[in-house]
Structure 1
Amino acid sequence: MDVSGKTVLLTGGTAGIGREIARQLKSKGAHVILTGRDPERLGAMQAEGFEAMAADLSNAAGVDALVAALGDRRLDILINNAGQLIDHDFRKGAPDPQAADAGIYANLTAPIRLITALVPQLRARPEAAIVNVTSGLAVAPAARQPVYCATKAGLRFYTLALREQLKGTAIRVIEALPPVVDTQMNDGNPMNKMPADECARQIVAAIEQRRDEANIGMTRTLRLVESISPALARRMTLRF
């Protein structure tokens, strides 16, 4: 897919991987509408020439407001990138159930609702794409992040089924599975981290090449191990 001239809705586009995706798509001639929650970050992206919309995707009202603001605008690519890392570790104390609810909504329910609302606009285009950013942890979970892993695994299986449903249409359904990336979300993670701009580059390349999956960095190794022995893949990740 040639992204030049395409209109892209990118959720979570003011920091980390999303910000780098936005910059790279813009440099290739795409018009990027990005969402975020932080007013300062939204303002910074507007100063870079992006169309930025405030949106809290951790609840139904926020998703509905975003869909209403978009109206019937032309849309060629939807990138569900926004996500929340939920601290849910009983070894550290009692987890916050409200935080878990918000994370489940942002990571899983919001992408499903956005896809449901926007597929008609995407179908109207001669070529279109839906990109769901999951995680290597959608393949095998880490013990300290069970809610995050569950939501990303859920989005992975939703993506696989959606791709089958939309087979033969103009909409390409792409899953991007990043490894641990050097973003604010992973500030406390001691593991080696991929630079956000390189992760974004590989996601954009998957869109351009119309690939079904982008297994990025160490996720490629994890996917290989998982194809041979799912139990071994789980042992590798559960210790984290």
Structure 2
Amino acid sequence: MRLDGKTVLVTGGTDGIGAQLIRQLRAKGAVVIASGRNAERIAATRADGFEVIAADLSTPAGVDALVAGLGDRPIDILVNNAGVGTNYDFRSGEVDLAGAEATYYLNLHAPTLLIARLLPVLKARPEAMIVNVTSGLALAPNAGSPVYCASKAGLRSYTLAIRAQLKGTGITVVEALPPMVDTQMTAGRGSNKLSAPECARQIVQGMERGSETINVGMVKVLQLVHSISPALARSIMIRF
């Protein structure tokens, strides 16, 4: 898809991968609208010339606020990028039930609601795209973040199903699967993390190519292993 002139909504666009996506999409000539929930980062992103709609997508009110902020403007591309993790490990006794609920809502419920509510707008465009940012952990979970893994696996299944439903409508349904990326969310966790700019570059490149699946960084290797033996992929990843 040619991105020049397209209007793109990127959720979670004020930090991490999203902050890089909005800049790289703008550099391609797209008109970019971001959503975010941190007041300081929203202000900084607006100062950089972006439109930002304040919306906490871990709540139903946040989804309503984002849709209301868009009004009746045409949207060509919806990028469901906003994501969060939470402490949920029975081995250490760190189980945050409220955080789990917010994680499921932000990572899974909000994207499904936004797609449903914006689908008429997307269908009205000559060509359109939905990009759901899942994770390599949607293929094979690790032991350390079961709620995050489950929410991303749910979004992956949803993406595959609606791709089949929307075939022939002019809407390309894309899944982007990053590895662990060096962002504020992953601070202090893991090593050999992919940089956020490089992750965004690979996603934007995949969007331009019209790829239905964008395996980012080392997820290419995980996807290959998973295609040969899902059990082997699970046995490797569950140790982390």
Same topology, TM > 0.5: yes
**Cα deviation, residue 70, structure 1:** 1.2
State yes or no: 1:4 paired with 2:4: yes
Q: 1:28 maps to which residue?
A: 28
Cα distance in 1, alignment partners of residues 140 and 190 from structure 2: 19
- Asked if the contact 2:32/2:50 (under 8 Å) is kept, the reply is yes
Alignment of 1:124-143 (within 5 A): 124-143=124-143
Distance 2:56 2:25 in 1: 23
1:55-70 equivalence runs, <5 A:
55-70=55-70
Going from structure 1 to structure 2, the CA distance change for 1:190 and 1:163 (only over 3 Å counts) comes to same
CA-atom RMSD in angstroms: 0.8
Is residue 103 of structure 1 aligned with residue 100 of structure 2? no
Q: Residue 148 of structure 2 corresponds to which residue in structure 1?
A: 148
TM-score, normalization: structure 1? Answer: 0.98
1:23 alignment partner, SS class:
helix
Deviation at 1:28, TM superposition (A): 1.0
Q: Hey, what does 2:84 align to over in structure 1?
A: 84
In the TM superposition, residue 55 of structure 1 has moved relative to its aligned partner by 0.6
1:228 Cα deviation after fit: 1.1
Please state how far the C-alpha of 1:190 moved relative to its aligned partner.
2.3
Paired residue secondary structure (2:89): coil
Is 1:233–2:236 an aligned residue pair?
A: no
Number of aligned positions between the proteins: 240
Matched residue, 2:189: 189
Where has structure 1 moved over 4 Å in runs of 4 or more?
A: none
Query: Conserved in 1, the CA contact under 8 Å of 2:54 and 2:65?
Result: no
Identity %: 62
Which residue does 1:205 correspond to in 2?
205
Instruction: Identify the residue that residue 161 of structure 1 maps to in structure 2.
Output: 161
Q: What code does the residue aligned with 2:158 have? A: Y
| Structure 1: tracts of 5 or more residues without a match | none
**What is the CA deviation profile of residues 81-139 of structure 1, one whole-angstrom value per residue up to 9, with x for unaligned ones?**
00111111111114121110010000000000000000100000001100000000000
**AA in 2 matched with 1:215:** N
Counterpart residue type for residue 114 of structure 1? L
Q: Partners in 2 of 1:96 and 1:141 — Cα distance?
A: 19
Counterpart-to-counterpart distance in 1, 2:45 and 2:52: 7
Distance 2:208 2:218 in 1: 22
Which whole-Å CA distance do the structure 1 matches of 2:110 and 2:118 have between them?
12
Instruction: Output the CA distance in 2 between the equivalents of 1:72 and 1:123.
Output: 14
Contact kept? 2:76, 2:128, Cα under 8 Å: yes
SS of the equivalent of 2:191 reads coil
Q: Deviations over 1:126-178 (max 9, x none)?
A: 01100000000000001010000000000001000011011011110000000
> Equivalent residue for 1:179?
179
State how far apart, in whole Å, the 2-side matches of 1:222 and 1:165 are: 27
Q: Partners in 2 of 1:22 and 1:71 — Cα distance? A: 20
Paired residue for 1:42? 42
Taking structure 2 as the reference length, what is the TM-score of the superposition?
A: 0.98
Deviates further, 131-140 or 81-90:
81-90
